Structure 1
Amino acid sequence: MILITGGAGYIGAHVALECMVRGEEVLIVDNLCNSHRSAIDRISTLAGKRPGFIYGDVRNRRLLDTLLRDYPIDAVVHCAGLKAVGESVREPLRYYDTNVGGSVVLCQAMAQAGVFRLVFSSSATVYGDCTRMPINEACATGQPTNPYGMSKLMCENVMKSVASSDPRWSIGLLRYFNPIGAHASGLLGEAPTSTPNNLLPYLLQVASGERQALSVYGNDYPTPDGTGVRDYIHVVDLALGHIRALEALRERRGVSIWNLGTGRGYSVLDVIKAFEKVTGVQIPLNFEARRPGDIACCWADPKKSIDELDWQARYSLERMLADAWRWQCNQREQEVVRQAN
């Protein structure tokens, strides 16, 4: 059985689904601080069976001890955590408490229970403002430009330390680039519970009429059009990377690091233009000052994941945007029906 922390969230839910359709038993623990219980129903519909679900916080050691004792868990995918760069600048202590504190408690509970296979949702933000593009795993992690990235780097260091102290650990650090998109069914996608902090959910809310205009933070970066350039990866491709990592860790010990990205960067304006082309919806823009903690460019060299995991991103930017829009439209239709009733 696989324990997925944060498994009702955007990435965790897609990981849970991909595990289940491959026959794995899944137990989700989530405090629903930025997710919805309805995600469990959606996973159940798509998988044809229901994952186990426990409402709870990964920082609760007593809860984790109970789960690891009472369920036949042999691996953990750790997705629980806060993830918004701008918010982390405003609330750094909250990020260190949740992300770092939660990871420490989880590793303590796993070690006590004798469970030593762990996949961690890390981030490309650990590379900081790297001047070398594309970024491979040999690039120095250095100094992340925001507390979110720093919290992820601190978590990585915790996990490297525990693996050095005990040879039974098999840990995969997955450095995500920028997940977007949704399940092709339109039934599972990103559903932020508050004001979105990332480009695509904000873009979707503008396109659906929930917000008047899209704020573009910074048009004076040293990039071809002045807006930030990122490596956008389909969330299903990302979820499949977790599957491959879990498989690889059966045969590996110590810490392994893999970038999960496409190897191609798109600017904010590239994404907006592609979205307008895919959907036919025009997006009004407001250009604003750069946000603290943001950097100009970030895209992956995925060669190590291709070679070691036999994993490669498959979906195009257009497919990511089309799937995300299908999810958004489905959500709006459901809301109309709820209001009518």
Structure 2
Amino acid sequence: MSEPVMLIEQANNRGTLYAVVEQDDRVAYFYLYPSELLTSKYSPRPCWLRNLMPAPAKKDVAAMKEGMAPMLEVAFCNHPQGKEPLEKERLAIVWLEEGDGAAVMYDDEILGVIPGWSLYNEEHSVAYAADCIGAGDTDRLMPLGKRGTNAMYDRVDQAIAFWKEWSDETSQTWSILQDKFIKAYEGAFGPLQQYYAIDGDQWPPMAIGKFEKDGIVYLLTLGVSIRPMPWVELLYNERSPGFRRMELAMAFRKDDFSDKEMMNMGSFMSGLADRPWKQVTWLGEGHTVKSDELVAPFESVVLSSALYNGPEIQLPEVYGDKVNLYWLSPITKLEREYAHVRPNAGYYLLEKMIEHNLNHVAAKRPELPFE
């Protein structure tokens, strides 16, 4: 038996996962591998693509015992006598917009899909293959089926259109979206005073806008919501369009913070804007994040849209999805620990903050009392 040969390898946008197609003289497989920094958090995900030899009658346990990729048994394979080897020139990878799932294409047709949500649950890891026609009770390979019978087709089509749009140098998508966000923010906080690019010349374009109104400085991101966040589809299922896109914001009383202190916290917000994709995670209401950029006694922030009680902000939808604007409110170590005493305790912290008349505007204040 020959050693597997890698036909194609492609990293996602932030280099956190790698899509690979390999084949030996028996079988071809598609894999998603985590980067070295994420190997302790996520496991590789396989997707059988095709047998190159006659399919075995039963599960290919012998190959697995030898540490080899198993062939698919004959009952679940649409080519019992095997197919010709894949040609690398005809292969292409399409990453889903979240960057946690991908499809492999062959002559522009889907061969296999590993959805992002399969990355997060070892027991429910699933892949879809075009040449699979059935699955055993415990198998994690499912038939892709025909168009109209599997939502994966629409997901991959959407991803192809998304990347095509953003790779088109003549596209006005960013300038249009940029203008919509700036107008939404100006409608609430007055004219844009300064504009800071925070994307480091990487896609997607992201920025922070600085505004000032009634002695309060506002820093708000734009462009973060271009990408849906990982994890959210698994956690919210059909409700995920309401939670998978975000922008971030901070507000400061000028009397409480110096320009340097505000800019340091803005720098922290800039790094946080890319965290879901750099760490394959997500951010949402009540989440807390530690930071060394905060002014003592604060050492973390809590994210919330519920704390906001200012003028209405008419944020645009992005790809038909609601965009959540999460305000970063500085909290102390004790307050953060209170938010972690039980599941979803971040919501209880927010309730306590609201009870004590705290809102989206950061201010130097005494620590919240806890019984």
* TM-score, length basis structure 2: 0.24
The higher relative CO (CA closer than 8 Å, separation ≥ 6) is in: 1
More strand per residue: 1 or 2?
2
Q: Normalization by structure 1: what TM-score?
A: 0.26
